[in-house]
Amino acid sequence: MEFEQFAGHFNVRINNIRADNGVYSAQLFRDSCLRQQQSLTFCAMGTHWQNEIAKRFIGTITQRARTILLHAMAKWPVVIAEDMWTFAIHHAVNFHNSSIRKQQSVSPYELFTGQTPPWALQDFRVFGSPTYVLTKALQDGGSHSKWKSRAWLRV
pLDDT band, residue 48 (cuts 50/70/90): low
pLDDT band (50, 70, 90) for residue 83 = very high
pLDDT tens digits, one per residue of 108-155: 999 999 998 888 878 888 888 888 888 888 888 888 788 888 888 888
Question: 3-state DSSP call for residue 90?
Answer: helix
Q: Tell me, what's the pLDDT at 37?
A: 93
**CA–CA separation, 96 and 54 (whole Å):** 14
pLDDT of residue 46: 67
* pLDDT value, residue 152: 83
**106: DSSP letter:** S
Are 132 and 153 contacting, i.e. CB atoms less than 8 angstroms apart?
yes
d(CA 42, CA 3): 19
